[in-house]
Structure 1
Amino acid sequence: MRVIGWLLLGLLAIFAAYCLLLAVSALLVSTKKEYRHDSPFYRWLLDSSIRLAVPILRIHVDVRGLEQLPQDTPVFFVGNHRSNFDPILTWYVLRKYRIGYLSKAENFRIPLYGRIIRRCGCTAIDRENPRNAVVTIRAAADRLQAAEGSVGAYPEGTRNKAAVGLLPFHNGLFKTAKWAHTPIAVLALDGTEMIAKNYPLRSTRVTLSVAGVLTAEEVDAMSTAEIGAKVRALLEAALPDARSQTFEGAGI
């Protein structure tokens, strides 16, 4: 019993040291500075945190269709958005693609996490000011063109709290891929809205499927509205409830 006690104490000490490392590292990140390049150290911090959190939160992820993804080029990842866990689990499954997200400004004010994602290629997008949003989209396209990593975004622009159907798309986001001449991978996530409801009493099974991939040539040949329609069709085909509620497209 004493050995078990010492082991538990050692694990607790390691966890406390790791939490201290997270806190100190986060405080070293300026909230007033735009970081245009990834930090391998901060990406490791975020990767390791997510890899610890997934089993603790009792999440099981079924992954389908990864063989469709390009292997030798950055990718613009888009998908449906039902939960705050969507980008976390996408990051978890697709670590090797070094995704940096276009995200709402509020996410960068989350304690610790909001600072760390600033150093991992994530950028706040101004949803109220189209001119500022275009500047952010251009920066994301530059990231793709420079092969610094992939980019992720949610065309719905916010979480679909109804957890059925698809909200209106902000088709301007697809300029990211057009300007970078980059393929678009469409990801369908199902079940993430149940994680917070189930924990801690029950585990949650989530499905992440690659609904389809638009090649760079296809992206170049299509308008952003056409891309939005294609992405919506792929998601509707991949998600069992997506056809039950659809909306007209939105602006940027």
Structure 2
Amino acid sequence: MFAILLLVINITVSILGVYLFDYQVDGVINNPIMIILSILAGTVVMLAVFFLYIDVFYFLVAKRRPQNSKFKHFLAKQIMTVPLVFTNTRIKVKGKENLPENPGFSIYVNHTSMMDIPVLMYKLNKHPIAFLQKQEVLDLFAVGKWTPKLGCVMIDRSNPRKGAEAIVNVIKNVKNGLTMVVFPEGTRTNKIGELIEFKPGSFKVALKSKAPLVPITIVKPNNFKKVKWPLPKKITVVIHKPIPFNDLRGMTSLDLSNKVKKIIETPLKISD
């Protein structure tokens, strides 16, 4: 795992620095300045390797392989595991058997934090997945340029016309066999265990792609925000049974929005 490799690099460089510039001087580890500088050096080297990985594989793989390339998505998954490992996030998955055997379906999931995407990319590894994301993600240093290459679709929430175009592009991706993740709330929820109103327009993806819809619930314990590093933060991902397209026929976007919201909401009520 790439994140573990980064940790090993950090620790190795830090220990080597202490050994060479403190212990080797007088046979004792007693120089706090050298210890701090060694730890900083380990961190700098680790970050350099991390960003080198992102850039090298972007030019060698991300720009050249198709959006649904399993190898490309595997590399992206390695990047996404880094924040999970360094924040000591523990993820439990329920219902993984509910994911369809074939790719090319839509996933609707509640949006709890910016960590949702790493969580889903790490655990939903049966098929390559991409996301309907806000346009600002493109501005993220180093990582932003990867997102369109993975099949992610950017949405400009301030422009209704471009928003509609984004939905059309998501539908095309699903029809072309890419599994797309949609956050129907449209933004992150600040309160744990609560949903905000779903945007019915987002369900046009499920209705027009003519593919199964898989609801997913991200569940966090009530004390999630109070748990501080290095204590583990626990998250449960509940994968519900897929809704076949035949069951969606005749439904409006609003009808489907209400139906999926009830499904996603159920584990949140149980966890209260």
Q: Which secondary structure does the structure 2 equivalent of 1:20 belong to?
A: helix
Give the partner amino acid of 2:85.
P
Kindly tell me: are residues 37 and 228 of structure 1, through their superposed partners in 2, closer, same or farther at Cα, counting changes over 3 Å? same
* 2:53 counterpart (4, 16, 21): 21
**Following superposition of structure 1 onto structure 2, how do residues 209-248 of structure 1 map, counting pairs within 5 Å?**
209-240=238-269
Tell me, yes or no, if the aligned pair for 1:58 and 1:199 is still in contact at 8 Å.
no
1:142 deviates by 1.0
| TM-score, L = length of structure 2 | 0.74
Cα displacement string for residues 2-27 of structure 1 (whole angstroms, at most 9, x for unaligned residues): xx99x924996787434313145558
- How big is the shift at 1:163? 2.4
Q: Deviations over 1:51-88 (max 9, x none)?
A: 34423321111110112221124220111111111121
- Which structure ranks higher in relative contact order (CA pairs < 8 Å, sequence separation ≥ 6)? 1
Distance 1:220 1:105 in 2: 31
Amino acid at match of 1:19: F
| Residue number in structure 1 paired with 2:176 | 146
**Contiguous gaps of at least 5 residues in structure 2:** 1-7, 17-41
Change (3 A) 1:106 1:128: same
Q: How does 1:99-248 map to 2 (within 5 A)?
A: 99-147=129-177, 149-191=178-220, 198-240=227-269
Report the Cα distance in structure 1 between the residues aligned to 2:236 and 2:150, rounded to whole angstroms. 25
Structure 1 length normalisation: TM-score?
Answer: 0.80
* Uncovered stretches (5+) of structure 1, i.e. residues with no partner: 245-252
Percent identity, aligned pairs only, is 24
1:154-210 deviation line (CA, Å, top 9, x unaligned): 110000112242111111111112111011111100128977764423111100001
Alignment equivalent of 1:70, drawn from 86, 91, 100: 100
**For 1:79, which of 84, 102, 109 is the aligned residue?**
109
Larger Rg: 2
Alpha carbons of structure 1 residues 107 and 197: separation in structure 2 relative to 1, 3 Å: farther
- 2:225 & 2:131 partners in 1: Cα distance? 22
How many pairs were matched up? Answer: 235
Alignment correspondent of 1:247: none
Q: CA deviation at 1:111?
A: 0.7
Structure 1: which amino acid aligns with 2:97? E
Give RMSD over aligned pairs. Answer: 3.4
Instruction: Decide which of 8, 15, 18 is 2:12's aligned counterpart.
Output: 8
Deviations 1:27-72, CA, capped at 9 Å, x for gaps = 899xxx9x99346564333211123442332111111011222112
The letter for the 2-side match of 1:8 is T
Contact 2:184 2:200 in 1 (8 A): yes
